[in-house]
Amino acid sequence: MVTIAACQRLQRSWFAALSSATGGRTFTTHGSDWVWLPARRELILLFPQEISPAGIRPALAEGVRLGAHTVGAWLGGGVKGAPLTGLGFSPGWQPWWMAAPVEEPAGYDDAAAVLSTEVPEYGGPLAQELRVVRSQPRQAWHAVARVDGTVAGAGYSFYPSGVPGLRGLGGIFNMEVLQEYQRHGLGTALLSRLAKAAAASGAEHLALNATPQGYELYSQRGFELIGRGQTYWLQL
């Protein structure tokens, strides 16, 4: 059974992989764990058990030094975020944690999506973050769906090796189909292609954090809601 705690560890691992691939780093301030994502100029607080202003203030100063544009905080559903609002943060979108046996999403037609380590149209953060699929040992895969040669959707799957508590658990991240191409099977094709890639490397289950809009697709492709989290955001 996939737990919310496992989903949070998986999200941590994904952020750490993106950070490493793009020249970022992770660090701790007074028990608060952070990841710096330079491609997006984002500093993220990762799932504290409680909010410690003593751990946040020095990280904010470090974020200014690094040139961060945004500071985010990912919290479990039971953590009180009120101290963050006192530091200038605002509540953000709510991750909906979902999980499925990998064979469920992998069982659909994936002909409209292809795995790719190079996407010529990408620039800026998208191009930088694509480096994660070229990191060794291989633990991430990227798929794109095109319509008339134009990128219409994309996403990642991720299966980290050697992370305690994540044996057999992979994830789906950064899935998006452009609005004008939605409801044409591209999301299903991307999901299936990415699930197959993770399964080939040993993933037995997949987890993801869905928006309310994405919930409709994922729930129809074998994913079940297991819990909700919180995010808070500060613009520097």
- C-alpha dihedral over 72, 62, 5, 79, to 10 degrees? -60
Where does the pLDDT of residue 162 fall: very low under 50, low under 70, confident under 90, or very high at 90 and above? Answer: confident
Name the percent of the chain lying above pLDDT 90. 93
What pLDDT, on the 0 to 100 scale, is given for residue 209? 96
β-strand pairing of 96-101 with 32-37: unpaired
What pLDDT, on the 0 to 100 scale, is given for residue 76? 96
Within 13 Å, how many C-alpha atoms sit on residue 182's CB side? 10
What pLDDT, on the 0 to 100 scale, is given for residue 1? 87
Where does the pLDDT of residue 163 fall: very low under 50, low under 70, confident under 90, or very high at 90 and above? Answer: confident
Read off the pLDDT of residues 185-223 as tens digits, 9 standing for 90 and up.
999 999 999 999 999 999 999 999 998 889 999 999 999
Mean pLDDT for 61-83 is 96
Where does the pLDDT of residue 165 fall: very low under 50, low under 70, confident under 90, or very high at 90 and above? Answer: confident
| CB contact at 8 A, 170 and 205 | yes
Name the percent of the chain lying above pLDDT 70. 100
Where does the pLDDT of residue 6 fall: very low under 50, low under 70, confident under 90, or very high at 90 and above? Answer: very high
pTM: 0.96
